[in-house]
């Protein structure tokens, strides 16, 4: 499409937002974009409708069809309400839970969502203020609701907000409900179809009692309360990075028995502007800088962080030389699963029907740990809705004991069905006490895991491509990787290619193609090399980026060789990045 044609198209779409159906603030914003000489913002705001995808909505806040605002949120909610009334037509009353994080406009959007549901005759349990995402998942199950919505953009920059939709099992929605909901949302063609006038009699405010019930459930996950009693004074620095974790994570740590929780006061302040960090993401070292400074000041044993909606966990450990190092998401999942398996074995609780779950882009070392503990491991797509799907499929037949993904998410329980930093941080603190009782720390524990199960090093690379042209470039990159797969990566032959877009698994030397057993297709491509390296490539479903997950393997004969093996692995990853052109 020519630039002039595109401007004409978006101008027409924008002018429709100048009608009296839209509020004065929205109309003023649209007029500003229409009158601006530079049409870039106008194009980005109106060149498409903000897509209600399988996880809901996520986008930059502002006026426009491609932005997060009361009208895009309203259409999503009306569509979801219409589908709920169809799917649960036999129930005397349909109920939902609505929650939100600390982001700008989150409370406003949550109240609008509650109003629309109630206007459609649906009972709403609305949290009294911001809460961690996993508590919303817990509340849906605890209250026996049919659905739920959380207003959050997770760890995205401050300009963003989002809309996560949940089903009756407390998990984010998957097939067939996801496509059915999308279809109902897409049927909303006019603002007049959205029922904004709420029925307050159908909205019940919840909060404190749900917190107590949720934290009591998390306390049952503790596997060694006695060791916490011995080491209750472990120095724990915790930061919520201005997010919802401040509400419950310190309380959960105290509930487990820890008494020496050290805050980062500036970051305890809930704020959608995230004023002390460039990005409120515990994966990013700069986001942990203030917490690390506090840890050095007090000589802390460990640092924990949660992202704005408190589903992701960050962990920084103290090394033997007194320095602090950020663990990656794979290492956090490995430590948690290793502890859960070992403690269950020590307690005589392994009956042969236990299982764990990881995503396909998460380290294969977890498979080795599971095999060495005779525990079944299942692989699934990226995203906790897929981990939750495995839990649901095996419910009543096998016992779930943990699952996680490389993107700093872990779920220890089955009473919630989304990643949970509240329980994960509580258990990680318990692991620190358990390690201290044995005269070791996180770093030496991790080395022991590598000695026993094989060494791996992982690195994620995100290539950001914003806007319409960026989306087109990402599509072209995936097409090229499929058409021209690398023959070698890091000096090792590519021997297997898995393409989840058509579920073909190709054995490169023979050309044999087998079909993979996955519930649906997905835009993910994987290369496996002869020396055990794995590269996964996928466009993000929530951010304007394409992600590369690089994993290399080696043996670690003894802990003392860790630095040497790690340096070699870093060299291999750099070589693979060069081969991929990233």
Q: In whole angstroms, what separates CA 85 from the centre of its chain?
A: 29
For the chain, helix, strand, coil in percent to 5 are: 40, 20, 35
Listed in sequence order, the residues at least 6 apart from 82 whose beta carbon sits closer than 8 Å to its beta carbon are: 120, 184, 187
Residue ranges with strand state E in 85-146: 95-100, 123-127
Q: How many CB atoms lie within 10 A of CB 52?
A: 23
Closest CA to 70 of 103, 23, 33, 28: 23
Listed in sequence order, the residues at least 6 apart from 280 whose beta carbon sits closer than 8 Å to its beta carbon are: 155, 157, 158, 241, 242, 243, 274, 287, 307, 308
Residues in the chain: 582
- Catalytic residue positions? 154
Secondary structure letter of residue 146 according to DSSP: S
Q: In what order do the strands lie in the sheet with 236-239?
A: 261-263, 236-239, 302-306, 313-318, 324-326
Q: How many CB atoms lie within 10 A of CB 315?
A: 27
Tokens matching residue 391: 């839990």
Q: Which residues pair with 124 in a beta bridge?
A: 96, 203
β pairing state of 545-554 and 455-464? antiparallel
318-326, long-range: CB < 8 A, 24+ apart: 318/441, 318/442, 318/443, 319/443, 320/441, 320/443, 320/444, 324/292, 324/295, 324/296, 325/443, 326/285, 326/288
Place of tokens 């609505």: 98
């Amino acid at each position: 499409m020519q630039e002039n044609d595109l401007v004409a198209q978006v101008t027409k779409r924008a002018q429709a937002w100048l009608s009296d159906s839209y509020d004065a603030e929205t109309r003023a914003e649209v007029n500003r974009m229409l009158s601006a000489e530079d049409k870039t913002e106008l194009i980005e705001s109106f060149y498409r409708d903000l897509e209600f995808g399988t996880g809901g909505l996520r986008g930059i806040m502002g006026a426009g069809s491609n932005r997060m605002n009361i009208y895009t949120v309203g259409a999503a909610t009306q569509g979801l309400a219409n589908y709920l009334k169809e799917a649960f037509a036999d129930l005397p009353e349909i109920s939902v839970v609505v929650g939100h994080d600390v982001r700008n406009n989150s409370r406003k959007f949550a109240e609008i969502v509650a109003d629309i549901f109630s206007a459609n005759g649906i009972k709403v349990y609305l949290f009294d203020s911001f809460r961690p995402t996993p508590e919303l998942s817990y509340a849906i199950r605890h209250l026996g609701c049919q659905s739920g919505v959380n207003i959050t953009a997770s760890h995205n920059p401050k300009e963003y907000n989002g809309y996560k939709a949940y089903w009756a099992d407390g998990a984010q929605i998957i097939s067939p409900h996801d496509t059915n909901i999308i279809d109902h949302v897409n049927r909303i063609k006019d603002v007049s179809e959205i029922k904004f006038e709420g029925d307050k009699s159908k909205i019940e405010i919840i909060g404190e009692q749900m917190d107590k019930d949720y934290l009591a459930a998390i306390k049952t996950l503790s596997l060694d309360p006695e060791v916490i009693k011995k080491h209750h004074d472990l120095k724990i620095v915790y930061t919520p990075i201005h997010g919802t974790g401040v509400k419950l994570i310190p309380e959960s740590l105290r509930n487990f028995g820890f008494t020496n929780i050290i805050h980062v006061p500036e970051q305890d302040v809930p704020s959608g502007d995230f004023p002390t960090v460039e990005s409120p993401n515990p994966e990013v070292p700069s986001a942990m800088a203030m917490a690390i400074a506090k840890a050095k000041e007090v000589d802390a044993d460990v640092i924990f962080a949660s992202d704005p909606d408190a589903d992701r966990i960050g962990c920084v450990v103290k090394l033997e030389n007194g320095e602090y190092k950020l663990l990656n998401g794979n290492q956090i999942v490995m430590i948690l699963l290793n502890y859960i398996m070992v403690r269950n074995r020590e307690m005589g609780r392994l009956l042969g029907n236990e299982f764990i779950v990881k995503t396909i882009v998460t380290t294969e070392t977890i498979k080795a740990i599971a095999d060495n503990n005779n525990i079944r491991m299942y692989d699934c797509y990226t995203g906790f809705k897929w981990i939750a799907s495995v839990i649901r499929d095996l419910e009543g037949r096998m016992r779930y004991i943990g699952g996680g993904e490389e993107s700093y998410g872990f779920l220890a329980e089955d009473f919630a069905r989304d990643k949970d930093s509240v329980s994960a941080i509580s258990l990680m603190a318990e692991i620190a006490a358990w390690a201290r009782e044995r005269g070791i720390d996180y770093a030496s524990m991790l080395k022991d895991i590598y000695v026993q199960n094989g060494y791996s090093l992982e690195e994620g690379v995100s290539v950001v491509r914003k806007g319409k042209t960026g989306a087109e470039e990402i599509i072209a990159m995936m097409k090229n990787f499929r058409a021209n797969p690398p023959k070698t990566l890091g000096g090792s032959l590519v021997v297997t290619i898995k393409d989840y877009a058509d579920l073909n698994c190709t054995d490169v030397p023979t050309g044999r193609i087998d079909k993979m057993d996955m519930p649906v297709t997905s835009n993910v491509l994987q290369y496996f090399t002869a020396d055990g390296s794995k590269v996964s490539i996928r466009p993000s479903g929530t951010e304007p980026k394409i992600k590369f997950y690089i994993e290399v393997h080696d043996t670690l004969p003894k802990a003392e060789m860790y630095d040497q093996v790690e340096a070699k692995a870093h060299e291999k990853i750099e070589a693979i990045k060069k081969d991929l052109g990233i």
